[in-house]
Amino acid sequence: MTNNRTRRRAGAALALALGAAGIATGAAAQDCTTKVGAVLPTSVDWGRPIAETAQWVVDQVNEAGGVNDCQVEMILRDTQVDPKVGVDAAKALVDLDGVQLLIGAVSSGVSLPILTSVTVPAGVMQMSCCTSSTALTELAKEGKTNGLWFRTFATSGVQAAVGAKVAQDQGWKKVAVFYKNDDWGQDIGKLVAQNLESMGIEVTAQVAINDGQPSYRAEAASALSGQPDAVYMALYPNEGTATAREWLALGGTQNMILANSLKSEEFRENVGMQYLENAWGTDTASPRADSATAFVDAYEARFDSPPNGPGLANSYDATMIALMAMEAAGEDATGAEIAAAVPRVTDPEGTPVTADAEGFAKAAEIFAEGGNVMYQGATGNVRFDEYGDVSAPAVIWKFTEDGIEEVEYLSLEEVNDFMASLQD
């Protein structure tokens, strides 16, 4: 890197530190743009905040001088949580816009076909905030992701284990399982059923739910026939609402365990709080760390509300880590070169940097000098394993009249110990 570039970065960092918007820096004189792609479900209520969080990161990076002295343009396309729509969107971003970095998708059923049919064949790095299916881990183990796949959200195994823990803690002996009939739903539905059975809890039914049906009465009746004490729901808000209504109308129990995909105001309002008083939700969580607290404070200042929706902290870290890796990889880097630079961002021996504009500017200076950084983000000090996966703490939550209430926090050690106990 040239000395001139280092001086521009130093100027940007100084402007940030002083809050001097009027100071002339390299960022003000930029005349180039770096494009990155994003495939996120902006047409659903819980997907829009995920996309807004990713754009917030881009804005902060541009405030810090951009990536390799070029302003970043995030080209966002809606997946509609539909695999075909998602693949078409990703193809357009790669083939027409020429992106080497793709943020997304959210659903495993969308991320998986994008990875196998678009990003891997094109050599584009893919970083997901919210995909959890273990099928992607298996692809990586088989060498089919070419090191191009990363995600900041823990695999379905965490939520499946915590969902089984809820059933055990509540003393429920018989549980029916509803799961969305896609890669994510099939994965988590299978895992939670295995965990429940390993704990001596009877799984009375495993019922697949397809998109867009006029009625789910037959599916609800099938699940009800085993007279379960509780129902586990790994669904999205639209079909989750319809299924829950049919279930309740037929006299099904209000004892519910909800995957984080139903951590939605839309679901709560459309089903009715009066029917959800004994519904227990699960989700992965940020660690109890200063960097996670700083993210919450910054998010509230930016959006005038706390980050209660699913995947928001994960979206922040996915985008910031990916852009830092692009910075570390250098100008005109390929997807493979960006992916290879990710360890320089999450190096446990690297210089600590914060998850904000100042942190990005500091990281850029360190990369320019040949160093590595230890990113301290919204979900803590992120560490990817050899398959692009992360581990995470977890929470159990409940709906309230005002939103979401955390009931129990499980540290990473507690989650790992509980998951290990299920294998004994």
Average pLDDT, rounded, for the chain: 92
* Beta bridge partner(s), residue 38: 76, 103
Gap between the terminal Cα atoms of the chain? 53
- pLDDT 10s digits, 123-142: 999 999 999 999 999 999 99
Decide if 3-153+311-376 and 156-285+393-423 have a common fold.
yes
Query: Residues 172, 147: contact at Cβ < 8 Å?
Result: no
Nearest to 379 by CA among 317, 324, 299: 317
Query: Residues 187, 108: contact at Cβ < 8 Å?
Result: yes
Residues 11-29: what's their mean pLDDT? 45
The percentage of residues in the chain with a pLDDT greater than 90, rounded to a whole number, is 86
**CB-CB neighbours of 168 under 10 Å:** 16
**Alpha helices in 304-356, H assignment, sequence order:** 312-329, 335-340, 342-345
The CATH code that applies to domain 3-153+311-376 is 3.40.50.2300
Q: Which two tokens stand for residue 133?
A: 């299916």
Q: Which two tokens stand for residue 226?
A: 């085993």
Q: Distance between alpha carbon 177 and the CA centroid of its chain, in Å? A: 23
The pLDDT value given to residue 21: 42
Q: Tell the residue number behind the tokens 């080209």, with chain if given.
A: 75
Residue ranges per structural domain of the chain: 3-153+311-376, 156-285+393-423
The percentage of residues in the chain with a pLDDT greater than 70, rounded to a whole number, is 93
The CATH code that applies to domain 156-285+393-423 is 3.40.50.2300
Angle formed by the axes of helices 412-423 and 183-198, to 10°? 70
Confidence band (pLDDT; 50, 70, 90) for 402? confident
Nearest to 207 by CA among 189, 229, 230, 192: 189
Confidence band (pLDDT; 50, 70, 90) for 22? very low
Nearest to 107 by CA among 58, 195, 43, 161: 43
**Which value, in Å, is the radius of gyration of the alpha carbons in the chain?**
22
The pLDDT value given to residue 415: 92
The pLDDT value given to residue 211: 87
- Does residue 18 carry a pLDDT above 50? no
pTM: 0.79
- pLDDT 10s digits, 282-323: 998 888 999 999 999 999 999 999 998 889 999 999 999 999
The pLDDT value given to residue 169: 97
| Lowest mean pLDDT, pick from 19-33, 49-63, 180-194, 238-252 | 19-33
* φ/ψ (deg, to 5) at 212: 70, 20
Do the strands 230-234 and 256-258 form a parallel or antiparallel pair, or are they unpaired?
A: parallel
- Does residue 204 carry a pLDDT above 80? yes
- Does residue 8 carry a pLDDT above 60? no
The pLDDT value given to residue 26: 42
Q: Distance between alpha carbon 227 and the CA centroid of its chain, in Å? A: 35
- Does residue 16 carry a pLDDT above 90? no
Q: Which two tokens stand for residue 228?
A: 């379960």
- Does residue 119 carry a pLDDT above 70? yes
- Does residue 365 carry a pLDDT above 90? yes
